[in-house]
Chain A
């Protein structure tokens, strides 16, 4: 008995040692935990090259400056071989794949891949015909005539006709699609002939084409949808886009899209794409690190240096801005109710520090209310948005609070990576003006509830839209953010409304710039930096581009992706 008891003891000793050893091993090596924070700077090699050239028969030595940006080292050249399946992890499940209802990220991405819209957007907010072959605008700017590409087919082989386009927009109106706002003063959509559709407006609205490129207006097959009232609950789905939703059940955390054999731009480099909903960011990082997933979307910027060599990270601008937005109702009688105080606050904010420390170098510091690129942009922030503490102090000295001595709270939307850190940096910056900031992170639900109830001094928030929609939403009467900030400046509203309806591009841009300059005077929104999402991929860049697998949060802008390696957008 004794010897048996001893062996049991020995066994227990061994088991305990293994357990304790396991725990120590787990604690011991940091592995891929995103703890290390480093900054990445796009490396450009600049060199002076001496060349000998022949000018009019005489050899001359000239100096030329060459700037080269290295190609991503681990992206192998395209072998031209199609890939059978790519696995992508994103943060949300696929809600009902109906573009005419409010969609989550999963559905947005889906619409980008399976949805065939009439147009797609270019980086400069011009449009490229997609299902459309071209369009004409009447002289009065009230009628847009869109011609479809010849011989277009849905994935089931049925032809895509003007009737389907009319049905799509009629259904969208009936279902109160939230994205109908993108269509402006649209009065009617009619089929002129099987290949031609006419959009009639009550007022000129140049942004109509941007609206037609919206994911909310994927063209649907009239016959299939009318034949089955439960079409979007179970399929089989018919697509006018690059892929077709081939495997999905409501509530499932995985779904697959497969190549549409009838797609006008086919064949695709990637035959199947499987999406996996993984809500936790760290898990998405680990998945792509271990190779369980090929491509992960929306990752913490702090993790970008911790991926293995074969995983490349890209920053995907989602055409939006991070702002500090004030509640003017609460601001009444408070120091920060004075626009000069808010301008001083803006001058005191170190946007570069926020870009470096909160967003780890992926979100360019703001110079105006819009992201750079579109002609509507204007750099309204003094000093290019760079911190100028002396100017801030001088401006504050012109107010009743020359030395600060007051405080307010900022509510960052705490679930978003970097937002609370950014608010904390602002708190540090404003301490230099004698302003005490309290940072109170809120969940998205609480933050929106507070916006509605006016239960906030200021928030660190984000907005993502095309220039007109974003500026109207923030500054014009009727805009949701305008309502939330309790802001009202009729001059700004008029400038933006007029800009929206201006048929002449020069006048339009002037009005946009005027509106932003006026809005700077009020400073109800302090722009901080551009909104960018980090993605990590094991798939080479060229294949990602070729397969259109770089969707942003807003798939209307899917062609605008920039790469942190400086290689520019997909061509």
Chain B
């Protein structure tokens, strides 16, 4: 809570002020949760209707040239694709309310099962990417901030621009050629679910995704660090002769991290969409592969709807969490 807000409450005791502050936080949480639910509902509805505007009949696609009119009709009934669009939507809504995202038209597997199998792979990929990206971005950004007017600062800017401009499918193929084919230090495709074996399949795709993450986070962090370096408390810390680690974390990084954490929250959507492509390049059986291969290409409505809903919820939840973490790291962001 800022001193500005405290000044508005002159008659309250400190206890009341804390309770009031907690109430505000609770209200914010409830409000964000309600917004998240609304966003989820919106995403689900838009996905449902947009999909049906796209040309391509899933039943015809499923049956191919064996699809006589009678068989197509029978399959529509079996798959719950008969009736008007509002009827189908209400049926779908009812199922979702009960936690049932439907059944894949193509594979007859429950969408919940498909997501439960593929989501962990994607979450692992994103987690490894974030760890790797932070491990690369933190030292790079600090160095780029400190040596901003040297050759290193210039190289950093040029390299990050090149990385940002490189599509992940291209960098993915290049790194696949280098590490999997030439050096043979990574598998060309596939996945193992057990930890830590799965890291062997994840580090290279994560490195590719870092091409999206690192330039942005490092640049934002660099600019935050440059701002922080101008602060008086940094000079004080230098004068006090603090240890390098304490100085770097408490006086340089922590006050500079909040915008980066907020950015991470917003970047999760971008990361998810990049992960879809990277999963296809590396054949990781993640949610992106399920979305494209099992969902979009086969017009498998329930699969696409379910995955889009999950994507939307992930973005909402992560941006909510990143707001909370940013607030903890730098209380100024809560004002």
Residues in B whose Cβ lies below 8 Å from that of A249: 117
Q: Are A101 and B180 in contact (CB under 8 A)?
A: no
Does B46 sit within 8 A of A, measured CB to CB? no
From known contacts A178-B66, A473-B65, infer whether A29 and B107 are also in contact, taking CB-CB under 8 Å.
Answer: no
From known contacts A251-B114, A280-B283, A283-B188, infer whether A16 and B108 are also in contact, taking CB-CB under 8 Å.
Answer: no
Shortest distance in angstroms between A208's beta carbon and chain B's nearest beta carbon?
18
Q: Are B281 and A95 in contact (CB under 8 A)?
A: no
Shortest distance in angstroms between A370's beta carbon and chain B's nearest beta carbon?
16
Q: Are B63 and A292 in contact (CB under 8 A)?
A: no
Shortest distance in angstroms between B244's beta carbon and chain A's nearest beta carbon?
9
Q: Are B60 and A292 in contact (CB under 8 A)?
A: no
Does B55 sit within 8 A of A, measured CB to CB? yes
Q: Are B184 and A449 in contact (CB under 8 A)?
A: no
**Complex Cα spacing A89 to B281, Å:** 15
Interface hit among A20-28, A421-429, A495-503, A530-538: A20-28
Q: Are B107 and A292 in contact (CB under 8 A)?
A: no
Interface hit among B10-18, B224-232, B289-297: B289-297
Q: Are B55 and A450 in contact (CB under 8 A)?
A: yes
Contact string against A for B residues 99-139, beta-carbon threshold 8 Å, 1 for contact and 0 otherwise: 00000001111100110011000000000000000000000
Residues in A whose Cβ lies below 8 Å from that of B175: 26
Interface hit among B67-75, B215-223, B255-263, B266-274: B67-75
Query: Of B74, B152, B189, which is within 8 A of A287 by CB?
Result: B189
Query: Of A176, A250, A290, which is within 8 A of B110 by CB?
Result: A250
From known contacts A93-B107, A250-B113, A449-B60, infer whether A181 and B180 are also in contact, taking CB-CB under 8 Å.
Answer: no
Shortest distance in angstroms between A306's beta carbon and chain B's nearest beta carbon?
11
Query: Of B75, B176, B294, B297, which is within 8 A of A93 by CB?
Result: B294
**Complex Cα spacing A89 to B282, Å:** 14
Does B23 sit within 8 A of A, measured CB to CB? no
**Complex Cα spacing A32 to B182, Å:** 9
Residues in A whose Cβ lies below 8 Å from that of B147: 9
Q: Are A26 and B65 in contact (CB under 8 A)?
A: no
From known contacts A9-B152, A449-B60, infer whether A32 and B181 are also in contact, taking CB-CB under 8 Å.
Answer: yes
Query: Of A250, A284, A445, A463, which is within 8 A of B297 by CB?
Result: A445
Q: Are A283 and B66 in contact (CB under 8 A)?
A: no
Q: Are B107 and A290 in contact (CB under 8 A)?
A: no
Considering the complex, give the chain B residue whose CB is closest to the CB of A450: B55
Does A158 sit within 8 A of B, measured CB to CB? no
Contact string against A for B residues 176-190, beta-carbon threshold 8 Å, 1 for contact and 0 otherwise: 111011101001111
Shortest distance in angstroms between B226's beta carbon and chain A's nearest beta carbon?
17
**A: interface residue count bin:** 35 or more
**Complex Cα spacing A113 to B285, Å:** 24
Q: Which of A465-509 contact B (CB under 8 A)?
A: 473, 478, 480-481
Does A85 sit within 8 A of B, measured CB to CB? no
Query: Of A96, A178, A278, which is within 8 A of B63 by CB?
Result: A178
Query: Of B67, B155, B280, B298, which is within 8 A of A16 by CB?
Result: B155
**Complex Cα spacing A16 to B136, Å:** 12
Residues in A whose Cβ lies below 8 Å from that of B281: 280, 283
| Residues of B within 8 A of A (CB-CB), count | 55
Shortest distance in angstroms between B133's beta carbon and chain A's nearest beta carbon?
15
Considering the complex, give the chain B residue whose CB is closest to the CB of A178: B66
Q: Are B180 and A290 in contact (CB under 8 A)?
A: yes
Does B1 sit within 8 A of A, measured CB to CB? no
Query: Of B62, B143, B152, B189, which is within 8 A of A278 by CB?
Result: B189
Considering the complex, give the chain B residue whose CB is closest to the CB of A25: B178
Residues in A whose Cβ lies below 8 Å from that of B60: 448-449, 452
Query: Of A279, A445, A449, which is within 8 A of B289 by CB?
Result: A279
Residues in B whose Cβ lies below 8 Å from that of A481: 65
Shortest distance in angstroms between B301's beta carbon and chain A's nearest beta carbon?
12
**Complex Cα spacing A148 to B178, Å:** 56
Most buried by B among A31, A179, A444, A445: A445
Query: Of A26, A250, A251, which is within 8 A of B177 by CB?
Result: A26
Residues in B whose Cβ lies below 8 Å from that of A453: 55
From known contacts A104-B106, A279-B289, infer whether A33 and B68 are also in contact, taking CB-CB under 8 Å.
Answer: no
Q: Which of B13-48 contact A (CB under 8 A)?
A: none
Considering the complex, give the chain A residue whose CB is closest to the CB of B282: A283
Contact string against B for A residues 1-40, beta-carbon threshold 8 Å, 1 for contact and 0 otherwise: 0000000110010001001001101110101110000000
Shortest distance in angstroms between A8's beta carbon and chain B's nearest beta carbon?
7
Q: Which of A270-291 contact B (CB under 8 A)?
A: 276-280, 283-284, 286-287, 289-290
Query: Of A22, A287, A444, which is within 8 A of B188 by CB?
Result: A287
Shortest distance in angstroms between A14's beta carbon and chain B's nearest beta carbon?
12
Residues in A whose Cβ lies below 8 Å from that of B117: 249, 251-252
Q: Which of A96-119 contact B (CB under 8 A)?
A: 96, 98, 101-102, 104
Query: Of B107, B174, B299, which is within 8 A of A104 by CB?
Result: B107
Does B191 sit within 8 A of A, measured CB to CB? yes
Q: Which of B163-177 contact A (CB under 8 A)?
A: 174-177
Q: Are B181 and A446 in contact (CB under 8 A)?
A: no
Q: Are A290 and B184 in contact (CB under 8 A)?
A: yes
Residues in A whose Cβ lies below 8 Å from that of B110: 250
Does B56 sit within 8 A of A, measured CB to CB? yes
Residues in A whose Cβ lies below 8 Å from that of B189: 89, 278, 280, 283-284, 286-287, 292
From known contacts A444-B61, A452-B57, infer whether A178 and B71 are also in contact, taking CB-CB under 8 Å.
Answer: yes
Residues in A whose Cβ lies below 8 Å from that of B113: 250-251
Shortest distance in angstroms between A157's beta carbon and chain B's nearest beta carbon?
29
Does A253 sit within 8 A of B, measured CB to CB? yes
Q: Are B188 and A25 in contact (CB under 8 A)?
A: no
Q: Which of A258-311 contact B (CB under 8 A)?
A: 276-280, 283-284, 286-287, 289-290, 292
Shortest distance in angstroms between B307's beta carbon and chain A's nearest beta carbon?
12
Q: Are B107 and A480 in contact (CB under 8 A)?
A: no
Considering the complex, give the chain B residue whose CB is closest to the CB of A462: B65
Q: Are B178 and A22 in contact (CB under 8 A)?
A: yes
Shortest distance in angstroms between A295's beta carbon and chain B's nearest beta carbon?
14
**Complex Cα spacing A102 to B67, Å:** 10
Q: Which residues of B contact A (CB under 8 A)?
A: 55-57, 60-68, 71, 74-75, 78, 106-110, 113-114, 117-118, 143, 147, 152, 155, 159, 174-178, 180-182, 184, 187-191, 280-283, 285, 289, 293-294, 297-299
6 closest A-B pairs by CB: A445-B56, A26-B178, A95-B107, A253-B285, A449-B55, A480-B65
